[in-house]
Chains A and B, each alone.
Chain A
Amino acid sequence: MLLPNLFRTEYGKIVAVLVRSFGIARVGIAEDIASDTFLIAAETWGTKGLPANPTAWLYTTAKNRACDLLRREGVFVNKVQPELQRAPTTCGIDEPDFSPAGFKDSQLRMIFALCHPELNTETQVALCLRILCGFGVGEIAAAFLTSKDTINKRLSRGKNRLRKVMTNLELPADSELPTRLDGVLTTIYLLFNEGYYSTGTATNFRRDLCADAIRLTLMLTRNDLTDQPRVSALLALMCFHTSRFDARLTDNGDLIDYDDQDRSLWDERLVRQGSRYFERATAGGAVGRYQLEAAIAFMHTSPNPGPDKWPNILALYNRLLMKAYSPVAALNRTYALSRVHGAQAALNEALKINLRGHLGYQLLLGELYVQLEDEKLAQYHFNRALTLTRNPAVRRRITAKLAGCNQA
Chain B
Amino acid sequence: MQDFMMLFRSEENPTERPSPEALQAEIKLWEAWIGGIAAQGKFLSSEALDYTGKTLMADGTVTDGPYTELKEIIGGYILLKATDWDDAVALAKGCPVLSAPGGKVEIRPIMDLG
Contact = CB atoms under 8 A, between A and B. Distances in A.
A349 B31 contact: no
A317 interface: yes
Interface string A320-348: 01100100011001100000000000000
A352 B81 CA distance: 14
A302 B51 CA distance: 41
B28 A315 contact: yes
Interface in B76-96: none
Nearest to B30: A318
B99 interface: no
Contacts of B31: 315, 318-319, 322
Given A315-B28, A315-B31, A322 B39 contact: no
Interface string B25-39: 000100110111011
Contacts of B46: 322
Contact of B34 (A314, A318, A329, A334): A318
B43 interface: yes
Contact of B43 (A315, A321, A349, A353): A321
A316 to B, nearest CB: 10
A354 interface: yes
Nearest to B31: A318
Contacts of B36: 349, 352
Interface residues of B, number: 12
A353 B36 CA distance: 9
B65 interface: no
Q: For the complex, would chain A's binding face be called helix, strand, loop or mixed by DSSP majority?
A: helix
A322 B35 contact: yes
B41 interface: yes
A152 to B, nearest CB: 36
Nearest to A330: B39
A331 to B, nearest CB: 9
B40 interface: yes
| Interface-central residue, B28, B32, B35, by most chain A CB under 10 Å | B35
A315 B36 CA distance: 11
B43 A330 contact: no
B49 to A, nearest CB: 17
B8 to A, nearest CB: 16
A353 B31 CA distance: 17
Nearest to A325: B41
B41 A330 contact: yes
B86 to A, nearest CB: 13
B43 A334 contact: no
A320 to B, nearest CB: 9
Interface in A269-320: 314-315, 317-319
19 contacts: A315-B31, A318-B31, A318-B35, A319-B31, A319-B35, A321-B38, A321-B39, A322-B31, A322-B34, A322-B35, A322-B43, A325-B43, A329-B39, A333-B35, A333-B39, A352-B36, A352-B40, A353-B39, A353-B40
Interface of B: 28, 31-32, 34-36, 38-41, 43, 46
Given A322-B34, A330-B38, 5 more contacts: A318-B34, A318-B38, A319-B35, A325-B39, A349-B39
